[in-house]
């Protein structure tokens, strides 16, 4: 069974590769404490590819929802995101921001990096200012995060636009090691350098709000990004990255998401999820 899974994995990755072998990726040391990424060649017999890592193909869309506990318009968007979280063909993520904290409630899940990421998107889109709830779809379109029709429209538009750029990704764990394998660019493509991001995700968080615009409510958040870290660079060639599981996972986190994104906040051309338990 494992031999067959390895063969399937090789076929899956080679389908969009410029080479039938996984070339070496330069040794990288990630800024996050304790994360060391090592280059490697093909997965060995001692590190088999489990069948669940193959999945049913790449997700149609990655949806990033920028939201805030201090925003009265956000709970509707948070609930809507759950409908995308439940779909196997979607990667839906919650990124809480902290710039509404001055309104009377300090967001318990927000971090400054989420707001920085949103501002980078706003600068690239030329939309002028950040707002919540904002959804960014596949790194290429932004819409109101509580508007299901607009999100669906963005999914269809970006899926079509990115169809020829998609990069296959395999993502699994073996013992105490997290393994990420990417395919390469199609022969006719002109690949741009992309960041390989690793998101550490908490599936569900209930937060009672005591003050501010949502005072008295208990809000529920899904697929909350607790940490988003660059772990490598994709340059058009197939690559393998290995990470120490203990250096990544937090006690409250459950899943991992890998994104391949042109530049830092450009189009997302590859994604995969790893369910923790």
**pTM over the 0.85 mark:** no
Mapped onto helix, strand or coil, the DSSP state of residue 152 is: helix
Mapped onto helix, strand or coil, the DSSP state of residue 197 is: strand
Q: Is the pLDDT of residue 5 over 50?
A: no
Q: Which two tokens stand for residue 12?
A: 């899956």
Q: Is pLDDT larger for residue 251 or for residue 147?
A: 147
Query: Strand order in 90-96's β-sheet?
Result: 141-144, 134-137, 61-67, 90-96, 218-234, 194-208, 255-262, 268-275
Q: Quick one: pLDDT at residue 220? A: 98
- Rounded distance between C-alpha atoms, residue 217 and residue 124, angstroms: 35
pLDDT category, 51, cuts 50, 70, 90?
A: very low
Q: Quick one: pLDDT at residue 26? A: 30
Q: Quick one: pLDDT at residue 49? A: 54
For residues 81 and 94, is the Cβ–Cβ distance under 8 A? Answer: yes
Q: Is the pLDDT of residue 21 over 90?
A: no
Q: Quick one: pLDDT at residue 52? A: 46
Q: Quick one: pLDDT at residue 107? A: 98
Which candidate, 64, 75, 83, places its Cα nearest to that of 130? 64
Helix, strand, coil percent values for the chain (each to nearest 5): 25, 35, 45
pLDDT category, 57, cuts 50, 70, 90?
A: low
Give the pLDDT confidence of 88-132 residue by residue, as tens digits: 999 999 999 999 999 999 999 998 999 999 999 999 999 999 999
- Rounded distance between C-alpha atoms, residue 10 and residue 186, angstroms: 16
Mapped onto helix, strand or coil, the DSSP state of residue 203 is: strand
Q: DSSP letters along 32-59, please?
A: STT-EEEE--SPPTTS---GGGTTTS--
Identify the structural domains of the chain with CATH numbers, from first to last.
2-275 (3.40.30.10)
Q: Quick one: pLDDT at residue 173? A: 86
Rg of the chain on CA atoms, in Å: 19
Q: Which two tokens stand for residue 223?
A: 């697929």
Give the pLDDT confidence of 70-94 residue by residue, as tens digits: 999 999 999 999 999 999 999 999 9
- Rounded distance between C-alpha atoms, residue 222 and residue 65, angstroms: 10
Q: Quick one: pLDDT at residue 277? A: 60
Q: Quick one: pLDDT at residue 55? A: 45
Q: Is pLDDT larger for residue 201 or for residue 10?
A: 201
Place of tokens 């707001």: 115
- Helices 148-162 and 74-85 cross at an angle (nearest 10°) of 50
pLDDT category, 250, cuts 50, 70, 90?
A: confident
For residues 105 and 211, is the Cβ–Cβ distance under 8 A? Answer: yes
């Amino acid at each position: 069974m494992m031999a067959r899974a390895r063969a399937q994995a090789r076929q899956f990755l080679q389908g969009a590769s410029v080479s039938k072998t996984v070339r070496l990726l330069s040794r990288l040391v990630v800024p996050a404490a304790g994360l060391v990424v090592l280059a490697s060649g093909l997965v060995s017999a001692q590190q088999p590819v489990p069948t669940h890592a193959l999945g049913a193909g790449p997700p149609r869309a990655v949806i990033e929802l920028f939201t805030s506990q201090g925003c009265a318009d956000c709970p509707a968007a948070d609930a809507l995101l759950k409908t995308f979280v439940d779909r196997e063909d979607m990667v839906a993520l919650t990124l809480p921001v902290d710039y509404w904290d001055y309104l009377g409630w300090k967001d318990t899940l927000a971090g400054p990096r989420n707001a920085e990421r949103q501002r980078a998107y706003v600068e690239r889109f030329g939309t002028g200012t950040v707002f919540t709830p904002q959804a960014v779809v596949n790194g290429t379109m932004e819409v109101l995060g509580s508007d299901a029709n607009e999100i669906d429209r963005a999914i269809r538009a970006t899926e079509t636009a990115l169809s020829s750029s998609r990069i296959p990704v395999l993502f699994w764990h073996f013992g105490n090691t997290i393994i990420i394998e990417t395919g390469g660019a199609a022969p006719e493509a002109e690949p741009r350098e992309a960041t390989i991001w690793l998101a550490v995700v908490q599936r569900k968080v209930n937060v009672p709000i005591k003050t501010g615009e949502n005072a008295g409510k208990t809000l529920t958040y899904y697929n909350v990004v607790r940490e988003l870290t660059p772990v490598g660079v994709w340059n058009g060639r197939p690559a393998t990255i290995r990470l120490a599981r203990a250096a990544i996972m937090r006690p409250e986190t459950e899943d991992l998401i890998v994104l391949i994104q042109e530049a830092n906040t450009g189009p997302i051309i590859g994604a995969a999820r790893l369910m923790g338990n």
